[in-house]
A and B are shown apart, each in its own frame.
Chain A
């Protein structure tokens, strides 16, 4: 019963898929489009579900690929303003850091400075709580690559936080 499987296993993932896409594309409109597209694609592939060892991981993989495509296509449009152009960057001057009281947006800006792979790993591990093995499956990379990239991403965030603190964060 494919509709039942879809309702029970795919549909409840929409929040997770949305957050994952949002982390990559950086804006709600594109992330919503990606989630809609993922739902359509997964439904069209219902004949293949039996061959998928993990439907959730497959949905996350499709979400990531579509999000990267979306982001790439957007960058080719010359007129687009860069994402988060109006938010403080991680390299803000001490004065700017002091002026901004929004700690969340500062952390978000630090996250945005990470390369996509590291950002996705932080999203999947620290926000969604996936096991290393699942992350490796979603990102289609070896397990040790997950650990190395997670370590690098966390160290980067730590250094940024310490640096910001020394500027009066």
Chain B
């Protein structure tokens, strides 16, 4: 197509009177290497139309980075699920299985370990003395430490 034909066509184009076929011919002309110098200024417009027609819709959700994140989240959820299952299984093992032996916990409270109340009293006394002895030892140790602190305090204040 020579430049005079293009100019006529281009004039029709600005007026909005070209057909789709004529517009395709114009686009083809401006895609070629031999565009007349005076028409060169319009090349960018037709190139712009060509370039814009190639834009594609790319949904963001399909990016590989997102995919790897999803896998990691899934696997950590799987681990948490497995841990919960193990705890549940242990719970069942320790609490449900003794329950199946039909031990009435109310009975446990009333089972006596000594035959006579006197003997039980003696044993309890012994245990309490032992406990109080240990407690007094602790108190005296603390009192000793406090004395040492007092001495230290006096030295510090004296200076």
Contact = CB atoms under 8 A, between A and B. Distances in A.
Nearest to A29: B60
Contact of A151 (B15, B48, B52, B53): B15
A56 to B, nearest CB: 15
Interface residues of B, number: 22
B47 A104 contact: yes
A135 to B, nearest CB: 11
Contacts of A157: 45
A63 B51 CA distance: 21
Given A15-B56, A154-B13, A154-B16, A165 B51 contact: no
Interface string B75-96: 0000000000000000000000
Contact of A154 (B14, B48, B59, B60): B14
A22 B41 contact: no
Contacts of A165: 41
A131 interface: yes
Contacts of B139: none
A127 interface: yes
A32 B16 contact: no
Nearest to B52: A127
A43 interface: no
Interface of A: 14-15, 17-19, 22, 32, 35-36, 103-104, 106-108, 111, 123, 125-129, 131, 147-148, 150-151, 154-155, 157-158, 161-162, 165, 169
10 contacts: A18-B57, A19-B55, A32-B57, A35-B57, A36-B59, A103-B47, A104-B51, A106-B44, A131-B20, A161-B42
Given A18-B55, A103-B44, A127-B53, 18 more contacts: A15-B56, A17-B57, A18-B56, A18-B57, A19-B55, A32-B59, A32-B60, A103-B48, A104-B47, A107-B44, A108-B48, A111-B48, A123-B52, A126-B49, A151-B16, A154-B14, A158-B14, A161-B41
